[in-house]
Amino acid sequence: MKKQDRAHLKLLSDVGEILSLLTGSSDITEFLQRVTTKLASHLNTAVCSIYLYDEKSDDIVLTTTVGLKASSVGVTRLRLEEGLVGKALRELKHIVLEKASLHPEFKYFPETGEDPYECFLAVPMRRGVERIGVLVLQREAPHKFTESEVHLVLALTSQLAGTLENARALLALQSGTIQPENRADKLPTFLQGKSVCPGVKSGPAYVFRRRASLIPEGAAKEGESVDLETAISATAKELTALQQQLANRLPEAASLISEAQLLMLTDPGFVGAMKAKVVEGAPPAQAVSDIARKYIRLFENSTHAYLREKASDVEDLALRILKNLFPLENDARSSYKNQVVVARDLFPSDILKLAAENVNAIVLVGGGTTSHVAILARSLQIPSIIIDFQELLQIRDGEFVLVDGENGHLYVNPEEETRRKYEKHIQTTEDISVLASKIQEETRTRDGIRVRLMSNINLLGELDLALQLKAEGIGLYRTEFPFLVRDTFPSCNDQLQIYRELFQRMAGREITIRTLDAGGDKMLSYFDTDGEPNPELGLCSIRLTLSHPEILEDQLKAILLARENQNRIRIMFPMIASPDEFLTAKEMVVQQWKKLPTETRGELPQIGMMLELPAVVDLMDEFVRIADFFSIGTNDFVQYMLAVDRSNERVADFYCPHHPAVLRGINRMVRPALAAGKDVSVCGEMAHDPKYLRFFVGIGIRKLSIDPNTIPEIQQCLATETCASMEKYAQDLLKCTSIREIENLIGA
Ligand code: PEP
Ligand code: MG
């Protein structure tokens, strides 16, 4: 080893040792001074300074120095766009110069006394994407910094960065520039997010929290309490009313939400134990919270997912009883009526509760717009947006907010003017009946080509809208929603009731019913997945139902029975990856169908599949031989084609439906299917977007399944375009070789 290398190694280990001194060190200034002195002497430089970046003021501040005037410490400050130090930190690139003052961006700081030191080396320090500061070394000419010295300093700064980051935080605390933060005070007054469900609503914000943390420890509540018995019967009344409300809005979930809780209200182990505690002399609030906490702990620690899920039911119930114990106090916590809920993790069943309680709007902090929670919020027509800004979770309960679901805007404490503007907007928003009156029975392009507009349905509550807006049928009924909103698998009979209602209300029209597509971001809370690390790539969708054939058998039986004499009901399998999977699933339909009495079973229904995995692109010739029809699930096709989680807002920019591989992949799937005369539709979100709509029609698609409220817009859009122009548009898109080229063409 060369002498110089040995010296460098020694320096690295010395610095490492010094850095370890920061822990527990109370004098940060002295610590920084020791670091710079050590560096200056080892590197043989006249000047060694550390500039730290102060995010609050956006200044870079000379924090410690050997060689410059001590009086300039804390005084010399520059902006990111100023001087060589600013340049190094702004561009996150080191700068080596023989004569610093000749550089066009050189800025002279006379108070430092740096005039003689022309040889200059500045190395930015960062931690991940966080800018920390700059280490600057200076010497008199002609002693410029050699390449090996530069490498050594680069290695050193990467060691220093973490410790200096801590030092910077400690310094800020000592100087009082950082107050123990109340982030709620720092929330911006306007945040731009993404639209999930249009509609403008305002109201007090309320952060959705879970679990026992909400239940006060012991007899936390003081004040005038009614007796426990009265509170319990008030709670029972409240739950029955909630159930009624829910039945109107969500027939398939009618008895679900509060049934378990109503049962608990008569359970001797639960309510009985509370009463016993009161008899022993405990205040009612304490009795409720002690017993509730005990149950929550028991449920939370259960090895069964469906029991763990019960913990939130208990919590919800206890909060209701507690609220009813103190009826005079206006505690909004147990009801979300007219509030704007801000939430990070919502289960589909939470959204149902919020809908039943008439929440005004939902702000999801993170998540993707094609996630199923988002889809459910849309189905329930709750104005909702997604904003990936974690600080929102610290918003004060009761803070007035306004949600513009259409544009993804959130206003915190909006000015009077903004409120007035939106009030006007609400008044002028078109009524559904007005929209419905403008809709034609049939949708045609400008040159008269018929395109069938079907409706996607997640909840039976959407059927009215689909009928009002003249959907020609149901192109996708996502059967998983009745599964998602329950806390256990629906029985065959439960399913039969739901499917029967769907088929009867849409009688005579084509209905495509998709078998259970659970897992991924549609976790069934009662079905253990053993903490799969990659649920989207795990045991989900058709894989799940084929590995538990009893679930699929029950469902198929319910569908076939509910069909009665209707012959336009089609069965579709999700996430098919191979002909083998499809044939196995298809055979199960045939078997269930054969079990029905000959006189009532009618013909074997058409059996089709979703096209949503890249694996099927090259197997279409095989699939056209075995499947009756196809529907393109673009939400998943984009996700799996590009390996981008559709529910993750952080990678939303990579979720790019206009990627050339996506468009070409879709075209390659469609061509053989259409050539074989098969029915092909699109049921993913891309079908709602005029940019892609024209592409789909251009490649020959004549059936789209879309959210019912988008039917008027899509119909209008198609009426203005000719088939020839859409074909040309599609061909142009297919020729593009990059995302950018496509963006230019579609104006994205
Ligand atoms: C799709 O993947 O595009 C689709 C329609 O199915 P889902 O959104 O239910 O996964
Ligand atoms: Mg899908």
pLDDT, tens digit, 9 for 90 and up, residues 252-269: 665 555 667 778 888 888
Asked whether the predicted pLDDT for residue 329 surpasses 90, the reply is no
682 contact partners, CB below 8 Å, separation of at least 6:
631, 632, 634, 696, 701, 703, 704, 705
* Sheet strands (E) in 25-161: 47-54, 59-66, 77-79, 95-97, 119-127, 130-139
Long-range Cβ pairs for the range 45-49 (8 Å, 24+): 45/137, 45/138, 45/139, 46/116, 46/117, 46/138, 46/139, 46/140, 47/114, 47/117, 47/136, 47/137, 47/138, 47/139, 48/135, 48/136, 48/137, 49/135, 49/136, 49/138
Residue-level pLDDT at 15: 66
pLDDT, tens digit, 9 for 90 and up, residues 639-687: 999 999 988 878 888 999 999 999 999 999 999 999 999 999 999 999 9
Which residues lie at CB < 5 A from ion ligand 2? 612, 633, 636
- Which two structure tokens, joined as six digits, stand for 380? 């329930």
- Ligand 1, atom nearest to 686 Cα: 3
Closest CA to 683 of 542, 539, 544, 574: 574
Closest CA to 683 of 441, 471, 415, 467: 471
Residue-level pLDDT at 331: 47
Q: How far is the CA of 322 from the centre of ligand 2 (A)?
A: 42
- The owner of tokens 């799969």 is 532
Q: Do the Cβ atoms of 53 and 77 come closer than 8 Å?
A: no
608 contact partners, CB below 8 Å, separation of at least 6:
512, 570, 571, 572, 573, 627, 628, 629, 630, 631, 679
Arithmetic mean of pLDDT over the chain: 85
Residue 571 to residue 628: CA distance in whole angstroms: 10
Percent with pLDDT over 90 in the chain: 47
Of these ranges, 85-89, 270-274, 356-360, 379-383, the one predicted with the greatest mean pLDDT is: 85-89
Confidence band (pLDDT; 50, 70, 90) for 214? low
95 contact partners, CB below 8 Å, separation of at least 6:
84, 87, 88, 103, 120, 121, 122
Q: Is 656 annotated in the active site?
A: no
Residue 353 to residue 258: CA distance in whole angstroms: 9
Residue 465 to residue 469: CA distance in whole angstroms: 6
Residue to mutate, 370, 459, 609, 688, ligand 1, most ligand atoms under 8 Å from C-beta: 370
Among residues 540, 656, 683, 723, the one annotated as catalytic is: 683
Residue-level pLDDT at 248: 67
Q: How far is the CA of 450 from the centre of ligand 2 (A)?
A: 26
Q: How far is the CA of 46 from the centre of ligand 2 (A)?
A: 65
- Which two structure tokens, joined as six digits, stand for 9? 């190694």
Q: Do the Cβ atoms of 405 and 414 come closer than 8 Å?
A: no
The total of other beta-carbon atoms located within 10 Å of residue 1's CB is: 7
Closest CA to 74 of 85, 82, 62, 65: 62
Q: How far is the CA of 517 from the centre of ligand 1 (A)?
A: 9
Residue-level pLDDT at 182: 45
Q: How many C-alpha atoms does 261 have within 13 Å on its Cβ side?
A: 30
pLDDT, tens digit, 9 for 90 and up, residues 97-108: 999 999 999 999
Cis peptide before 690 (omega within 30 of 0): no
Q: How far is the CA of 615 from the centre of ligand 2 (A)?
A: 14
Query: Which domains does the chain carry?
Result: 3-175 (3.30.450.40), 186-213+227-428 (3.50.30.10), 432-746 (3.20.20.60)
478 contact partners, CB below 8 Å, separation of at least 6:
375, 456, 457, 458, 514, 517
3-state secondary structure of 558: helix
- Ligand 1, atom nearest to 520 Cα: 10
Of these ranges, 69-73, 379-383, 475-479, the one predicted with the greatest mean pLDDT is: 475-479
Q: Do the Cβ atoms of 478 and 399 come closer than 8 Å?
A: no
Instruction: Beginning with the edge strand found earlier in the chain, give each strand of the sheet holding 47-54 in spatial order.
Output: 77-79, 59-66, 47-54, 130-139, 119-127, 95-97
End-to-end CA distance of the chain: 58
Point out which residues pair with 573 in neighbouring strands: 609
Residue 692 to residue 701: CA distance in whole angstroms: 11
- Ligand 1, atom nearest to 478 Cα: 9
Residue to mutate, 512, 517, 572, ligand 1, most ligand atoms under 8 Å from C-beta: 517
Q: How far is the CA of 574 from the centre of ligand 2 (A)?
A: 7
3-state secondary structure of 218: coil
pLDDT, tens digit, 9 for 90 and up, residues 291-310: 888 888 887 777 666 666 67
Ligand 1, atom 4, residue with closest C-alpha: 633
Confidence band (pLDDT; 50, 70, 90) for 216? low
Q: How far is the CA of 662 from the centre of ligand 2 (A)?
A: 15
Q: How far is the CA of 375 from the centre of ligand 1 (A)?
A: 10
Q: Do the Cβ atoms of 646 and 636 come closer than 8 Å?
A: yes
Q: Is 372 annotated in the active site?
A: yes
Confidence band (pLDDT; 50, 70, 90) for 731? very high
The total of other beta-carbon atoms located within 10 Å of residue 527's CB is: 18
Name the helix (H) or strand (E) containing 10. helix 3-20
Residue to mutate, 610, 638, 706, 707, ligand 1, most ligand atoms under 8 Å from C-beta: 610
Confidence band (pLDDT; 50, 70, 90) for 45? very high
Q: Do the Cβ atoms of 323 and 386 come closer than 8 Å?
A: no
Point out the ligand nearest to the CA of residue 374. Answer: 1
Residue-level pLDDT at 554: 95
Confidence band (pLDDT; 50, 70, 90) for 711? very high
Asked whether the predicted pLDDT for residue 466 surpasses 60, the reply is yes
- Calculate ∠ Cα 590-529-208, nearest 5°: 115
Using only C-alpha atoms, the chain has a radius of gyration, in whole angstroms, of 32
Ligand 1, atom 9, residue with closest C-alpha: 478
* Amino acid symbol at 136: V
Asked whether the predicted pLDDT for residue 177 surpasses 80, the reply is no
Residue-level pLDDT at 239: 83
Q: How far is the CA of 394 from the centre of ligand 2 (A)?
A: 33
If one compares 612 and 126, the residue with the highest pLDDT of the two is 612
Q: Output the ligand 1 site: residues, CB below 6 A.
A: 476, 478, 517, 612, 633-636, 683-684
Residue-level pLDDT at 309: 62
Residue-level pLDDT at 212: 45
- Ligand 1, atom nearest to 370 Cα: 8
- The owner of tokens 């009612």 is 284
Point out the ligand nearest to the CA of residue 379. Answer: 1
- Ligand 1, atom nearest to 684 Cα: 3
| Phi, psi for residue 141 in degrees, rounded to 5 | -65, 150
Among residues 8, 42, 372, 409, the one annotated as catalytic is: 372
Mean pLDDT of 621-629: 98
DSSP 345-367: ---HHHHHHHHHTT--EEEESS-
- Ligand 1, atom nearest to 480 Cα: 9
DSSP 482-546: HHHTSSSPPPHHHHHHHHHHHHHHTTTSEEEEEPP--BTTB--TTS--TT-S-GGGSS-HHHHHH
- Which two structure tokens, joined as six digits, stand for 473? 């049928």
3-state secondary structure of 130: strand
- Ligand 1, atom nearest to 633 Cα: 3
Closest CA to 163 of 121, 125, 123, 137: 125
Determine the angle formed by the axes of helices 284-300 and 305-325, rounding to 10 degrees. 170
Name the helix (H) or strand (E) containing 283. none
Closest CA to 483 of 618, 362, 376, 336: 376
Asked whether the predicted pLDDT for residue 515 surpasses 90, the reply is yes
Residue-level pLDDT at 180: 42
Percent with pLDDT over 70 in the chain: 85
Ligand 1, atom 3, residue with closest C-alpha: 633
pLDDT, tens digit, 9 for 90 and up, residues 572-610: 999 999 999 999 999 999 999 999 999 888 999 999 999
- Which two structure tokens, joined as six digits, stand for 270? 């639960």
121 contact partners, CB below 8 Å, separation of at least 6:
94, 95, 96, 97, 136, 137, 138, 145, 149, 150, 153
